[in-house]
Amino acid sequence: MLGFILGTMTGGVMGVFAMCLFIAGKREDEALERCRMKPKEIIDHGVCICFVNSQGEELFRLADGESLVQNAPNGERNVSTCHYLDADSAMIDGKKWNLLEFAKEMEKRGIMFAPMELCQVSERG
């Protein structure tokens, strides 16, 4: 009898635990879907950070809050969070940069930079 009661209680607890996992998983899936949709909404509203090369030609765009990967010639790698300030500048890893000056400085140091996730590929024609 005691085994039946303990088995029932354990089964009930495991059922509640499994249901909590399913609910948490569904919420996480919904949050990820909102994140995937966010860049398109940001592009539609014109709030992307437009990264350029040292000649001022557009390379790629990042949404506000997305990450930029910087690879140094010595193999060192840095991931920076980028925040939109205005059309010509952004906060990159906590420092305010004019995007053209940023490109020139990275070229001078030999640092290659690229987005973690592509927000929008510039159209070339």
- Which tokens in the block code for residue 100? 């053209």
Give Cα 15 distance to the centre of its chain.
35
Residue 93: HSE in the Cβ half-sphere, 13 Å Cα cutoff? 7
For the stretch 34-70, pLDDT in tens is: 656 555 554 555 578 999 999 999 999 988 888 999 9
For 12-66, list the strands marked E by DSSP.
Answer: 48-52, 58-63
For the stretch 85-94, pLDDT in tens is: 998 999 999 9
- Which tokens in the block code for residue 14? 């495991």
